[in-house]
Amino acid sequence: MRRDWDIMRSVLLEVEALDVKQTEEFVFFQPYSSGDPEADRARHALMLEEMGYLKGIKYQTLSEGRYLKSPELTMPGADLLDTIREKKMWEKIKEVSKERGVGIAFDTLKGLAGLAATALMT
């Protein structure tokens, strides 16, 4: 599976928008075999959880798939979302990444955001 930053951004925005009651009931579900777009969102949510940007109750079954229940942003997740929240800034980060020939990775995102912010101000 290819990492898709647009999906990860939308997952972070979705989790941030959940109220307390919605958070308690919300589940990302990744079936073992599915081409469903919701399965892709769940895979990306689980990646974000593995990197420490989301927290929640993670479990899997032998027959169905993997779950992330009651997802919440962590402090690093909130910081990441602050960097990529605004659509204009996010589009500029992707543009700068493409111009420089640098892939967007967790480690390079802050640097790309700095370059993008500078480009937007000039």
Q: What is the pLDDT of residue 118?
A: 77
Mean pLDDT, rounded, for 86-94: 89
pLDDT at residue 35 greater than cutoff 80: no
Q: What is the pLDDT of residue 32?
A: 86
Number of domains in the chain: 2
For residue 49, give its domain range. Answer: 5-79
Based on the fold, state whether residues 19 and 65 are members of the same structural domain: yes
Q: Which two tokens stand for residue 63?
A: 């027959």
Based on the fold, state whether residues 74 and 90 are members of the same structural domain: no
Q: What is the pLDDT of residue 65?
A: 93
CA 41 and chain centroid, separation: 9
Based on the fold, state whether residues 49 and 90 are members of the same structural domain: no
* Measured distance CA(35)–CA(117) in Å, rounded: 36
What is the residue whose two structure tokens read 């777009």? 37
* pLDDT band per the 50, 70, 90 thresholds, residue 72: very high
Q: What is the pLDDT of residue 37?
A: 82
Strand order in the sheet with 65-73: 27-31, 65-73, 54-60
- Per-residue model confidence as pLDDT tens digits over 95-106: 888 888 878 887
Based on the fold, state whether residues 16 and 60 are members of the same structural domain: yes
